[in-house]
Amino acid sequence: MWIEALLVVIILILLGIILFSGGGIARRRVLSRQVDSLHKEIQRLQNANEALRSSMGMGSETRVKSFADIFELVRDLESLRCAIAGSSTCQRALTQKYGIGPGPELLKRILGARLWMDSVVKWRLADELLVGEVGRSILQSLNSGAPIDRAASKAGVPMAVARGQVSRLQILGYLDNRLALTERGREALV
């Protein structure tokens, strides 16, 4: 009988230690309450954030649509770059979408398709993607009267790359047939 009572007391003590110590039920309930409190706080902050966005005219749907339009613009500009480099897949896709082949008119149509976007931003993005640093360096050299080989050397690219860049710049209307900068080419240098 003493042994049974002693075992019951030991079991109760062990059960109390397990339940009410650091890993017990009481601790779990406290942590559950804290997690619920934090979930409610997150929800409150998300609602406040959405309200602020909508008051600024930047609802989540509007933002998703504007980002999708920006991504499509970048994709079309990259397709134009690849089409000029000789990709028949890109040429076909752009011709189906815009009705004309690679050139300055196609660039204007690609940029003109995004009416909501600021014109300066669209052209600057096009300059960055289609001209780039190498093209800008070549344009500067050609503008100062240097021949293509010296422009290639100054840009730090092989002659073949410089010729391809000059060809692309001519097709897009940044350079004329005499390798002189057009108005668009001068704007790309800024």
Specify if 73 maps to a domain: yes
Q: What is the model's pLDDT at position 65?
A: 72
Cα separation of 164 and 43, whole Å?
54
Whether 77 and 100 share a structural domain: yes
Q: What is the model's pLDDT at position 39?
A: 92
Buried b or exposed e, range 44-72, using 16+ CB within 10 angstroms:
eeeeeeeeeeeeeeeeeeeeeeeeeeeee
Specify if 95 maps to a domain: yes
Task: Report pLDDT digits (tens) over 9-40.
Answer: 898 888 777 766 666 666 778 888 999 999 99
- Structural domain count of the chain: 2
Cα separation of 83 and 96, whole Å?
13
Cα separation of 7 and 44, whole Å?
52
Q: Which domain holds residue 149?
A: 131-189
Model confidence at 120, pLDDT cuts 50, 70, 90, reads confident
Whether 108 and 86 share a structural domain: yes
What is the CATH classification number for the domain harbouring 162?
A: 1.10.10.10
Specify if 11 maps to a domain: no
Question: In 3-state terms, what secondary structure has residue 61?
Answer: helix
Specify if 40 maps to a domain: no
Specify if 104 maps to a domain: yes
Specify if 7 maps to a domain: no
- Given 73, 92, 117, the domain boundary residue is 117
Average pLDDT over residues 90-104: 90
Whether 138 and 184 share a structural domain: yes
Model confidence at 139, pLDDT cuts 50, 70, 90, reads very high
Whether 151 and 185 share a structural domain: yes
Specify if 54 maps to a domain: no
Specify if 12 maps to a domain: no
